[in-house]
Amino acid sequence: MTGAAFLAFAAQLSLFLILIGLAVAFVRLAKGPSLADRVVALDMMTVTIISFCGVYAVFMDEPSFLDVAIVLALVGFLATVALARYAERRMELDETQAKHAMKEEGQQ
């Protein structure tokens, strides 16, 4: 087996495994059950798509896909941070509402 044939085989196998990982992450994103599970699944999907772009760039000998992977990594990071802040604020709001409900219940 030559080096080129081995690289092509390894790239095809990697792309197949990455697609399986992407499918598993999509199932977790759809099923949930909590917001934190969905955020982690979305982050995993972002990482698998980035790795797909990297492997595809090597497989097709097209370095422009690496630029796409870098931009996607930056956008994915910002999306993860934004979703984490949303989840934190939502949790704080839920705690505040629960305290307020307990206070009203105690006054009656």
pLDDT tens column, 4-56: 899 999 999 999 999 999 999 999 999 989 888 888 999 999 999 999 999 99
- 56-90: pLDDT as tens digits: 999 999 999 999 999 999 999 999 899 889 988 98
DSSP letters spanning 67-91: HHHHHHHHHHHHHHHHHHHHHHHHH
97: its two tokens = 């509402």
pLDDT of residue 78: 93
Domain boundaries, the chain: 3-107
Task: Tell me the whole-structure pTM to 2 decimals.
Answer: 0.80
pLDDT of residue 6: 94
pLDDT of residue 34: 87
pLDDT of residue 106: 74
The correct answer on CATH 1.10.1060 for the domain covering 3-107 is: no
